[in-house]
Amino acid sequence: MDYTKMGKGILKFLGGEENIEGVTHCATRLRLVLKDEKRVKKKELEAMDEVKGVFSNGGQFQIIIGQGAVNKVYEAMVEGTSIIESNLSESKKLAMKKVNPLQRFARTLSNIFVPIIPAIVASGLLMGLLGMGRTFGWINGNSSAFMLLDMFSNAAFVFLPILIAFSAAKEFRTNPFLAAALGGILIHPALQNAWTLGQGVQNKISVLGMDVSMVGYQGTVLPILIAVWVMGYIERGLRKIVPNVLDIILTPFLTLMTTGFVSLLVIGPLGRLLGDGISMGLETLYSGVGAISGIIFGGLYSTIVITGIHHSFHAIEAGLLSNPQIGKNFLLPIWSMANVAQGGAAIAVYFKARSKKIKSIAAPASLSCLLGITEAAIFGVNLRLIRPFVAAAIGGALGGGYVVFTKVSMTAVGVTGIPGTAIVEQGSMINYLVGLLIAFGGAFIMTLLLGFKEEKEEDNREMKENTNIDLGELNSSEILLAPMKGKIVSLEEVPDNTFSGKLLGEGIAIEPEDGTVVSPVDGTIVKIFEARHAVSIMSESGIEILIHFGIDTVKMQGEGFKTFVKNGDKIKAGDKLIEADLNLVKERSKSTITPVVITNTDNYKLVKGLKAGPVDFKEKIIVIA
């Protein structure tokens, strides 16, 4: 590969160096922040043999090159130019400047609420199970066990302001422990319980001549969000004027006292009023317009996903659940219908398409939609072919209309598709499943009726296959050993289209049992990536291997990862390469599934997995010939 020619060719099709604000790369992709994406010649980029895909997301224009080659293309592209080279963190900040204020606001809310979703899901699931158990007589609603479990189920909602405060502190650049203390102030036991507010304010006190209502904000969302945002400004302002010698004493004290007082006097009442206004407005729309609201929201949701604004919905849904007059999430079932509809359209593409490449992406993407993950189907299949995306919107509208008509609701946030059955409100299960069938089937049928125009097949990118090859008769072959202990799964199960679509090559994936990664071959370390989450290896015979620990782990920026080798090191099979904090990866990333990919697959007649299921270190997993 002529990397210089390729780098300069990409630069030309991007509109030249003057169109690039910043560029970096991860294990497989160039990530660029462009001044004007309209100047990009996307078709010409996609036509380049070495380019495996291009897309724009979250203010970044990304070009999939493949491991090993991407860093060389990156170096060739920026050599001799004035292009600003940035790391992934800087690139993300640049990208955020490119999105509009609404998208930036939505992303901020997403960053706050995504980390606390597990707590809300756990509480919502337990709440649903308790309701079912009491209805069917499995547990006595007056028993001590029920009261104890009921306390477990509502704890996340009662103490929601503390969870939100701690998470929001990072986004609003303030001390997370001061923020948590502020959340504690807003739900202090001395304050009137928020759920009894309908009976009127029972106690007020006078502070500096101003009346402060002794009302708590248990289960509320907006008051603590606004309060922590204000706290960030107060803390940063105080640090500018408080002498350094007194900073550790005065700044925390004045920050907490000032924000606490302002929160109880102004922010809390206004935040509650605004939050209740949004929740009750949606409830009125839901009850008044009925199925029409489900049709509209279900049909438009996937389009909203493309803009990124959907990230803000977690806050609205949490507000619905925590409002004592509503106490249920009637929006999430609609989003679930839209997500599953994308899967129905994708599987129809699988059956109707002739392209092996499209088929290889469509089938696993459809399965991912049933599990609530739609990116691969939307960006890799349906939106790419346009008409399937329209068909999915129709399916989402049909399913959304049905679940609203039948009053389906959920007890938590963040879980859709088949896993969403765990948090469906008791009595709604049958209608939820019927809605999924309507959405999936409607999108499937509409895709077949509308059809689509396929892109030209690019045979030189397909996996070279020869089903008649007898492994025993191969003159030359190499065996890869397992680099980690866990369970082998197919690449199609990886929740990332770059890997599941085999855009980087053939291979397998492993769901790890621990965080240790060892070398699968004797060879040389080509690249330990900046975030320490991936390693590129060249075997002694020239096989290029990428081991990528987890999905979206590049966003962890090296946290939780330790490397034991450096670029250029000679290694033997079994040498330790990476140690990862598996629990931290589970918490911070999309998945721990680790792809092991042969990135120069096209150089070989056969790349074949030798094993499925449980695997231990150094077991034979892949043959290359």
Cβ-based neighbour number of residue 383 at 10 Å: 18
pLDDT score recorded for residue 318: 78
Number of domains in the chain: 4
Look up tokens 């990919």; give the residue: 597
Catalytic residue among 6, 14, 26, 51: 26
pLDDT score recorded for residue 475: 47
Domain final residue pick, 99, 120, 146: 99
Look at residues 158, 164, 180 and name the one whose alpha carbon lies nearest to residue 109. 164
| 302 and 265 part of one domain | no
pLDDT score recorded for residue 93: 59
| 492 and 535 part of one domain | yes
Please say whether the beta carbons of 510 and 615 come within 8 A: yes
| 486 and 611 part of one domain | yes
| 410 and 492 part of one domain | no
Q: Could you tell me if residue 494 is inside a domain? A: yes
Residues pairing with 624 in the sheet: 478, 607
pLDDT score recorded for residue 308: 59
Q: Could you tell me if residue 112 is inside a domain? A: no
pLDDT score recorded for residue 405: 93
Give pLDDT tens digits for 7-50: 888 888 888 888 888 788 776 778 888 888 888 888 788 777 67
Residue 369 is among the residues annotated as catalytic for this protein: no
pTM exceeding the 0.85 threshold for the entire prediction: no
Q: Sign of torsion, CA 113 118 123 128? A: positive
Please say whether the beta carbons of 483 and 518 come within 8 A: yes
Q: Could you tell me if residue 581 is inside a domain? A: yes
* Residues of the chain scoring pLDDT < 50: 456-475
Give pLDDT tens digits for 584-609: 999 888 899 999 999 888 788 888 88
pLDDT score recorded for residue 210: 64
Long-range contacts of 40-44, Cβ-Cβ distance < 8 Å, separation of 24 or more: 40/13, 40/14, 40/15, 41/13, 41/15, 44/13
For residue 58, give the 3-state DSSP assignment.
coil
pLDDT score recorded for residue 91: 53
The contacts of residue 100 (CB under 8 Å, 6+ apart) are none
The contacts of residue 581 (CB under 8 Å, 6+ apart) are 515, 560, 561
Range of the domain at 437: 292-450
